[in-house]
Amino acid sequence: MLRLQSSSRRRRESALNSKFRVRSGFTLIELLVVISIIAVLMSLILPAIQNAREAARRTQCLNRVRQIGLALHSFASKNPSSQFPSYGTWGDVKNAGGVWQNTNTTGKKLRNWVVDILSELDRQDIFDRWNFDDEHDGTIVGPSGFNNRRLIEEYNFEVLVCPSDESGDGAGALSYVVNAGYANIDGSLSAASGWAGSSNLHRDNDPDLDYNVNGTTNDDEDKQISHRSGVMWGMAVDRNGDGKPTEYPNRSQTLNTIYDGVSNTLMVSENLNAGSDQYWGDPSARYCTFVYPIDPNPTAAGLTAATYFSTAPLDPAHPYGVINGAAAGPEGERPFPASSHPGGVNVVMCDGSARFLSEDIDLNVYAQLITAAGSKSLPTAGAQTILDGNSFWNDLCSENAARFPRNSVFSRTRAVPGAVIV
């Protein structure tokens, strides 16, 4: 009897224990709920992480473009003429035997503004090894034992490349370009065509534009207006005195000739399409400058001498010639401000201040920010209006741009009405 009672008690205790036994692991439903919660959290966190990374890259880019602006100022302060460097230099070259070679009237592509400010960028070592008697991508070994192609291929300077520029990893990459004013672009801007004028070069004395709408292009007033439209211009040197190339001096601006105000004039901008290989020394304007493509047909647009330059209409053949309008490229054929930063580009003004410029800036204000002396009176053509700082402060602000309210008074037209942005 006692044995039967003991056995029955053990069975009841075993049943009771099994009823309250703790299970190990998750059911399928519980697992799916946990996965869903993690996915929701990741979807909330990842965009914030990406935004933080982009903000850090944009700040780093702003610091780099500021360094370039300071280097350009340092160059101008040391230059006896007080001018900024030419955006590009053409000239005659020496062969391997050290003999000057005859060139055409244009000259060989020697170097651009980057080479001229290498010392100011704390790269005296590269500057001293540059062969100034050869082309920017030449293979003639200079006195230092280096050739220019080797220097460009082996050295990729961080200060010249925006961290967000995906094409900036290769040798010779360049993300920053200088202000070369208004331009008449009559082609595709490929290597063989694009710039209007006899030399297929972007020069202030050959704009091929009738700014004063008198029926004649390239008269003295047209050239004067062209020069006032930008900050840095190309130059050509004839070092052996044979008349080839036709010598053309540096006509870049000084701080004193920037009549519109150094804080109201753009000097440096980003451009994703400045060239991904072999270009940080190339003087071609399509690689090392940014321009404003002005409509070359003022009469067709119903404009007069009083209104053409003052309104600076965008060329309808190049509606993408605005900020971030041609961010998709093609590389080396779109000399316009462009970046991977959402909403605009980092720029440096002629006073050395670095800012973030909105892509939604009023088109006429943007065109006026490019000119160095657009508001200066002219013999017959109408000058541009004086820029009021309040008119673009909300578009041209510091790295804390998001903290400032937008100014709704001004329209945010990126291109001419009806134009298609590509």
Q: For residues 56 and 64, is the Cβ–Cβ distance under 8 A?
A: no
For residue 237, give the 3-state DSSP assignment: strand
pLDDT tens per residue across span 402-411: 433 443 333 3
Q: Is the peptide bond before 330 cis (omega within 30 degrees of 0)?
A: yes
Q: For the whole model, what pTM was predicted?
A: 0.82
- Model confidence at 48, pLDDT cuts 50, 70, 90, reads low
- Residue 257 or 240, more confident: 257
pLDDT tens per residue across span 316-346: 999 999 999 998 888 888 999 999 999 999 9
pLDDT over threshold 90, residue 170: no
What is the per-residue pLDDT for 257? Answer: 97
Percent of the chain at pLDDT exceeding 90: 59
Among 58, 60, 61, residue whose Cα is nearest residue 50: 58
What is the per-residue pLDDT for 2? Answer: 46
Planar angle of CA 364, 368, 371, nearest 5 degrees: 150
Per DSSP, 205 falls in state T
Q: For residues 344 and 240, is the Cβ–Cβ distance under 8 A?
A: no
Q: For residues 226 and 204, is the Cβ–Cβ distance under 8 A?
A: yes
What is the per-residue pLDDT for 199? Answer: 63
- Model confidence at 260, pLDDT cuts 50, 70, 90, reads very high
- Model confidence at 120, pLDDT cuts 50, 70, 90, reads very high
Q: Is the peptide bond before 245 cis (omega within 30 degrees of 0)?
A: yes
What is the per-residue pLDDT for 276? Answer: 60
- Model confidence at 417, pLDDT cuts 50, 70, 90, reads very low
Alpha-carbon span 80 to 254, nearest angstrom = 11
pLDDT over threshold 90, residue 420: no
What is the per-residue pLDDT for 311? Answer: 95
Looking at beta carbons, which pairs linking 240-248 to residues 24 or more positions away fall under 8 Å?
Answer: 240/92, 240/100, 242/92, 242/100, 242/102, 244/92, 244/102, 244/103, 244/104, 244/105, 244/107, 245/90, 245/91, 245/92, 245/103, 245/104, 245/105, 245/106, 245/107, 246/105, 246/106, 248/203, 248/205
pLDDT over threshold 90, residue 389: no
What is the per-residue pLDDT for 325? Answer: 94
What is the per-residue pLDDT for 414? Answer: 34
- Residue 196 or 212, more confident: 212
- Residue 225 or 53, more confident: 225
Percent of the chain at pLDDT exceeding 70: 82
What is the per-residue pLDDT for 25? Answer: 64
What is the per-residue pLDDT for 324? Answer: 95
Among 381, 367, 241, residue whose Cα is nearest residue 307: 381
